[in-house]
A and B are shown apart, each in its own frame.
Chain A
Amino acid sequence: MNDVVNSSGSTSTIHAAGVAIKDLRKSYGSNEVLKGISLNVAPGEVVCLIGPSGSGKSTLLRCVNLLEQPNQGSIHVGGFEATDPDVDIDKMRRKVGMVFQQFNLFPHLDAKRNCTVAQTKVLKRSQAEADKVALHNLERVGLGHLADRFPDQLSGGQQQRVAIARALSMDPELMLFDEPTSALDPETVGDVLSVMRNLAKEGMTMLVVTHEMGFAREVADRVVFMDGGVVVEEGVAEQVISAPTQPRTKEFLRRVLDPTHIEIEE
């Protein structure tokens, strides 16, 4: 764990939280998208969720901070039981940073204000303190010089990095990434991935839905392959990606890693 500057400006380590998901089920009507998922993420661990679209990876991620309400099972995040009906959702979400595929920056606020609005309104920090934290985090993602730009004046990759800085400004103990590079131009993907790589090095707990196999292999401690609402295979990143044991994992990776040499099946 490296030293980072926390909200008060002093130096400290990231306080990382773990996640424990047990037998999680989620249906939309009669369509069951999560069919009993169990998954543990240790504090400071980086776990990548991979799998074909429609496999339920994004839904699983969105269940962790209750953007989707699970039907069954339990989720523990830090000291919170997310699935407890009496849980203080807002208090729990302060600990959980979320980064979306479509960035979802607030278009009516500049980059700095995007990073301060929740600090002042939710954490009740003073504007001066919030500004300091925001600038620190914008510098952390390499955008300190663009703090007064509005989202529509930034490239996709820059917007996504502001979105990461916005989440970090709340001093989260866990970061969720929902396909953070899928909506980006290819040449800006690298900047976003390197910010995420640094964050992983600093000891942040990260749960990442991604199609970037290179990133998963290099940065993730573990990789979880999902298909059809179940965990098909999980293990050390290098092992799952380079030497998968399950036929469905092999097939998926063959298609993702070498898309130009797929033979069309009858």
Chain B
Amino acid sequence: MAMTARQRARVSLYVQGAIFLVALVAIILAVDWKTIGTSVFNFGKIGPMFPDIFLSGLKNTLVYTFLGFIVGLSGGLLLALMKLSSFPLYRWIATGYIEFFRGIPALLVFIAFGYGVPLAFGVQWNVTIVVMISLGMVASAYIAETLRAGLQAVPKGQLEAARSLGMPQWRAMVTIVIPQAFKIVLPPLTNEVILLTKDSSLIYVLGLTASQYELTKFGRDGISSLGAGLTPLLVAGAFYLVITIPLSLLARKFESRSARTKR
């Protein structure tokens, strides 16, 4: 009584569905709904989060991410060019930098620039400067590797054609090679922005005033002030998705566009 391949596939699908259903029911039965209702999904008490979650939380997350990205993009481009340089010292510096900042937790960088460096040099930096530098330095390490791959993906003939027209090396890079490299790395670069958006939450290790709170810190603050348990953090999490999901869709659009033009 052998089954055909199609019958076997159908049975296997039913079995998978059944397992999933049983697991779901088990979870629903095991959860303490009463506690969850008061301390996780307690949306009745989160009214006071608005509109400040827009005015400080969301706004600051966007501002911190943007500043970090600008520094990261400039630093990343510089490092990528250094890494492709024919001058060995530049390559070593770039490689050292990239390996170091990709290898340590971003949190340590925030602590170093939030407390260590200001202490060492006796300076006072405001939060925006610290975020810009910390996030930017970590981002440039990642972006550098992305851009390096993009620069190397531009065919060598492009540089040769540009140089043959009398363009100096820097001019050929700026006018011909780098614009093409950016087009190639647009999808992975958008993903870097998503990572940065989430890393901006690490600013919580610094002492912040309420107007400097970004989404995560704003949510944590709500935990202690609203008496709705973890609910405010859940709301903050949803706001991250509001930023990151459109970025994801954008990255996918860039990807399909470059796949189309490659023909």
Nearest CB on A from B254, distance (A): 15
B166–A104 touching, CB < 8 Å: no
User: How many B residues touch A, CB cutoff 8 Å?
Assistant: 20
Complex Cα spacing A122 to B158, Å: 16
**Chain A neighbourhood of B160, CB < 8 A:** 67, 98, 100, 104
- Asked if A170 is at the interface (CB within 8 A of a chain B CB), the reply is yes
Complex Cα spacing A102 to B161, Å: 10
Give 1 or 0 for each of B154-168: 1 = CB within 8 Å of chain A CB: 010110111111111
A94-B175 in contact given A100-B160, A102-B157 (Cβ < 8 Å): no
Which of A97, A98, A106, A163 is within 8 Å of B176, CB to CB? Answer: A106
- Asked if A7 is at the interface (CB within 8 A of a chain B CB), the reply is no
**Chain A neighbourhood of B171, CB < 8 A:** 121-122
A98-B175 in contact given A108-B183, A152-B261 (Cβ < 8 Å): no
Complex Cα spacing A65 to B163, Å: 10
- Asked if B179 is at the interface (CB within 8 A of a chain A CB), the reply is yes
Near B by CB (< 8 A), chain A positions 106-137 give 106-108, 117-118, 121-123
Closest B residue to A98 by CB, please name it.
B164
- Report which residue of B161, B165, B167 has the largest number of chain A beta carbons within 10 angstroms of its beta carbon: B165
Near A by CB (< 8 A), chain B positions 178-193 give 179-180, 183
- Asked if B257 is at the interface (CB within 8 A of a chain A CB), the reply is no
B180–A170 touching, CB < 8 Å: no
- Asked if A93 is at the interface (CB within 8 A of a chain B CB), the reply is yes
Nearest CB on B from A24, distance (A): 19
B164–A152 touching, CB < 8 Å: no
Nearest CB on A from B156, distance (A): 9
A96–B164 touching, CB < 8 Å: yes
A121–B157 touching, CB < 8 Å: no
Q: Is the interface of B mostly helix, strand, loop or mixed?
A: helix
**Chain B neighbourhood of A97, CB < 8 A:** 164
Give 1 or 0 for each of A160-183: 1 = CB within 8 Å of chain B CB: 000100110010000000000000
- Report which residue of B155, B163, B164, B179 has the largest number of chain A beta carbons within 10 angstroms of its beta carbon: B164
B163–A93 touching, CB < 8 Å: yes
**Chain A neighbourhood of B34, CB < 8 A:** none
A104–B175 touching, CB < 8 Å: no
Which of A91, A98, A108 is within 8 Å of B161, CB to CB? Answer: A98
- Asked if A90 is at the interface (CB within 8 A of a chain B CB), the reply is yes
**Chain B neighbourhood of A104, CB < 8 A:** 155, 157-158, 160-161
A93–B157 touching, CB < 8 Å: no
User: How many A residues touch B, CB cutoff 8 Å?
Assistant: 26
- Asked if B263 is at the interface (CB within 8 A of a chain A CB), the reply is yes
Nearest CB on A from B91, distance (A): 21
Which of A93, A106, A118, A167 is within 8 Å of B158, CB to CB? Answer: A106
Nearest CB on B from A112, distance (A): 15
**Chain B neighbourhood of A117, CB < 8 A:** 165, 175-176
B166–A90 touching, CB < 8 Å: yes
A65-B164 in contact given A106-B158, A152-B263 (Cβ < 8 Å): yes
**Chain A neighbourhood of B168, CB < 8 A:** 90
Complex Cα spacing A104 to B171, Å: 17
**Chain A neighbourhood of B165, CB < 8 A:** 93-94, 117-118, 122, 166-167, 170
A90-B164 in contact given A102-B157, A106-B158, A108-B179 (Cβ < 8 Å): no
Complex Cα spacing A170 to B87, Å: 31
Closest A residue to B158 by CB, please name it.
A104
Closest A residue to B160 by CB, please name it.
A67
Complex Cα spacing A78 to B134, Å: 55
Closest A residue to B164 by CB, please name it.
A98
**Chain B neighbourhood of A100, CB < 8 A:** 157, 160-161
A122-B166 in contact given A67-B160, A100-B161, A102-B157 (Cβ < 8 Å): yes
**Chain A neighbourhood of B162, CB < 8 A:** 106, 118
A67-B163 in contact given A107-B180, A108-B179, A108-B183 (Cβ < 8 Å): yes
A108-B157 in contact given A90-B166, A122-B165, A122-B167 (Cβ < 8 Å): no
26 contacts between A and B (CB under 8 A): A67-B163, A67-B164, A90-B168, A93-B164, A93-B165, A98-B160, A98-B161, A102-B155, A102-B157, A104-B155, A104-B157, A104-B161, A105-B161, A106-B161, A106-B176, A117-B175, A118-B162, A118-B165, A118-B166, A118-B167, A122-B165, A152-B261, A152-B263, A166-B165, A167-B165, A170-B165
Give the top 3 A-B pairs by smallest Cβ distance, nearest first.
Answer: A118-B165, A104-B161, A94-B166
Which residues of A approach B to under 8 Å, CB–CB?
65, 67, 90-91, 93-94, 96-98, 100, 102, 104-108, 117-118, 121-123, 152, 163, 166-167, 170
Excluding A104-B155, A152-B261, 13 further A-B contacts by CB distance (< 8 Å) are A93-B164, A93-B166, A97-B164, A102-B155, A104-B161, A106-B161, A106-B176, A108-B180, A108-B183, A118-B162, A122-B165, A122-B171, A170-B165
